[in-house]
Chains A and B, each alone.
Chain A
């Protein structure tokens, strides 16, 4: 356990930037390269998902003519990346995505080249419910080190060997023995007040077709605009599209985030669409998160960050859906 004096944080980040590409939450909107700005009051609108499933991942480049032989494109950051200020729920989200992408070279290369330094939230945000999804913010899953803001400075818990190496270079003091006690007490107090939602256990044992055929879906999905905001902001949604982009005579094949809320998502070339109705697409998203993924991996595909509830233009609340699903 280390201690970083509060005043030393910015200098340390600047110093790190000479060896690493350093990213931080720069504003309530999201992350960017560290240039002095730092927003640590609460979670950002965009999570750290974009470091692993970026908005554009080029996988192929080619001359745009029939018969051309494409060349593979593979992104590899020149320097290792350090992302500071990642919320524990968002880091947990990366570990959930990793369950599916463990053999995907593009995801794995980014994972291998990126260190995640987490920051425990002092207070849960208005719409947060990570604990209900089984996320313990003090466990730091997916992180290399976890920072806890105290009165004197940040207490830093090392979680991986990579994290240890990184922090060895910093202006850290060995924290007094009482420090780990502070950490432990904070965790205990948190866990005493916050429990996993019983709904998850009920959903695990529930009959899929019964939930699928339940009559509440239509009413719950009615306000949904199928805009996809929830999917793009979600730190665990991982669906992607593949597109060929051509400008002039040059083209690239890219992977980019996609929303299961869109009609084209499941539309066949023939026009047939197995999820033609907005209700079917709404239902599929929630079944994926709270039934398919839960059954396969034992955890829901949700970390309770609450971004979907905060940003949904139609005011849809995830808890209404979970409640309905778990009472079938």
Chain B
């Protein structure tokens, strides 16, 4: 019998799917609420918003998914877009199935550093997941932060995630929430327009503020100049990268953007840091 070392970072822990929520009308986004089988491991699981974990299905493999739950929430939550081999396998599983979970991985947002500042969250499409974790955290520690603004856009109303929560957040006086869709749609009486346009209209001030931007590359490309106009320096803008990964531990080197390893040095990176790297993301 071979003694297996206690800490094998590449070995997933078994986690049960406690609850499944189909988030979007097209059915391509599903939230997985997970509990680690080992109670102690579940209690000990500590992450910060912005980190990710590897989810795995035996025989299919692993893939990195951002953690969408806040550290205070009882279950670990992941919202998964059905797009490849592993995510397709995940989407076929019923509640109660045990899958593999490895994490938390990556750096996450430095939320302690943001204390006393205004925080602007800008999300497009299903990249909203780790910003959901961030927002829940910020609202739980509401007094530690200044103004909190969230701008969140989707192609159409049916593609907005976390709808019941959005409704609750709309009612809060201590959160400025701007929901937008790309084009007019029946039944939608909210904002219409792309995220960069809405950001320009909202025009958040860069003074004593940070902006956290997550979305498709095209949205980011057009949002960054708007933030610059609002007075955000590259040091005040936080992005979250993603790249193909294997180990998630800084060993296999697949996810490198220049010398920056998305899995270990990221995924969160300031625009100032990103500007020093080759554009390989």
Give the segment of B55-63, B115-123, B152-160 that binds chain A.
B55-63
A290-326 vs B: 1/0 string, CB under 8 Å? 0110011000000000000000000000000000000
A248-285 vs B: 1/0 string, CB under 8 Å? 00010101001010000111111000110000100010
Number of interface residues of A (CB under 8 A): 54
A91-111 vs B: 1/0 string, CB under 8 Å? 000000000110111100100
The answer to whether A242 and B89 have CB atoms under 8 Å apart is no
B100 contacts partner chain A, Cβ-Cβ < 8 Å: yes
Q: How distant is the Cα of A246 from the Cα of B257 in the complex, in angstroms? A: 32
Whose C-beta in chain B lies nearest to the C-beta of A249? B59
B71 contacts partner chain A, Cβ-Cβ < 8 Å: no
The answer to whether B243 and A241 have CB atoms under 8 Å apart is no
Given known contacts A105-B8, A208-B278, A275-B280, is B251 in contact with A68 (CB within 8 Å)? no
The answer to whether B259 and A72 have CB atoms under 8 Å apart is no
Q: How distant is the Cα of A253 from the Cα of B84 in the complex, in angstroms? A: 18
A69-92 vs B: 1/0 string, CB under 8 Å? 110101110000000000000000
A158 contacts partner chain B, Cβ-Cβ < 8 Å: no
Contact with A68, one of B58, B278, B280 (Cβ below 8 angstroms): B58
CB neighbours (8 Å) of B172 from chain A are none
Give the segment of A58-66, A170-178, A218-226 that binds chain B.
A58-66
Contact with B278, one of A59, A64, A70, A212 (Cβ below 8 angstroms): A212
Give the segment of B90-98, B104-112, B133-141, B222-230 that binds chain A.
B90-98
Q: How distant is the Cα of A70 from the Cα of B254 in the complex, in angstroms? A: 25
A205 contacts partner chain B, Cβ-Cβ < 8 Å: no
Given known contacts A64-B59, A67-B98, A268-B242, is B280 in contact with A208 (CB within 8 Å)? no
A159 contacts partner chain B, Cβ-Cβ < 8 Å: no
Contact with A209, one of B58, B92, B278 (Cβ below 8 angstroms): B278
Give the segment of B10-18, B180-188, B189-197 that binds chain A.
B10-18
In terms of DSSP, what is the predominant structure of the interface of chain B? loop
Whose C-beta in chain A lies nearest to the C-beta of B4? A74
In terms of DSSP, what is the predominant structure of the interface of chain A? mixed
B258 contacts partner chain A, Cβ-Cβ < 8 Å: yes
The answer to whether A72 and B8 have CB atoms under 8 Å apart is yes
A240 contacts partner chain B, Cβ-Cβ < 8 Å: yes
The answer to whether A65 and B58 have CB atoms under 8 Å apart is yes
A185 contacts partner chain B, Cβ-Cβ < 8 Å: no
The answer to whether B97 and A66 have CB atoms under 8 Å apart is yes
A240: min CB distance to chain B, Å: 5
CB neighbours (8 Å) of A60 from chain B are 10-12, 58
CB neighbours (8 Å) of A265 from chain B are 244, 254
B33: min CB distance to chain A, Å: 16
The answer to whether B259 and A296 have CB atoms under 8 Å apart is yes
B35: min CB distance to chain A, Å: 14
B246 contacts partner chain A, Cβ-Cβ < 8 Å: yes
Q: How distant is the Cα of A243 from the Cα of B259 in the complex, in angstroms? A: 25
A120 contacts partner chain B, Cβ-Cβ < 8 Å: no
The answer to whether B62 and A74 have CB atoms under 8 Å apart is no
The answer to whether A241 and B58 have CB atoms under 8 Å apart is no
Q: How distant is the Cα of A287 from the Cα of B257 in the complex, in angstroms? A: 11
CB neighbours (8 Å) of A76 from chain B are 2-3
Besides A208-B277, A251-B59, 11 more A-B contacts (Cβ < 8 Å) are A60-B11, A68-B58, A69-B98, A70-B12, A70-B100, A100-B250, A104-B249, A109-B5, A244-B58, A269-B86, A287-B278
List chain A positions with a Cβ less than 8 A from chain B: 59-60, 62-70, 72, 74-76, 100-101, 103-106, 109, 208-209, 212, 238-244, 246, 251, 253, 255, 258, 260, 265-270, 274-275, 280, 284, 287-288, 291-292, 295-296
List chain B positions with a Cβ less than 8 A from chain A: 2-5, 7-12, 14, 37, 57-63, 83-87, 89, 92-93, 97-100, 242-244, 246-247, 249-259, 276-281
**3 tightest CB-CB pairs across the interface, nearest first?**
A269-B84, A292-B259, A62-B58
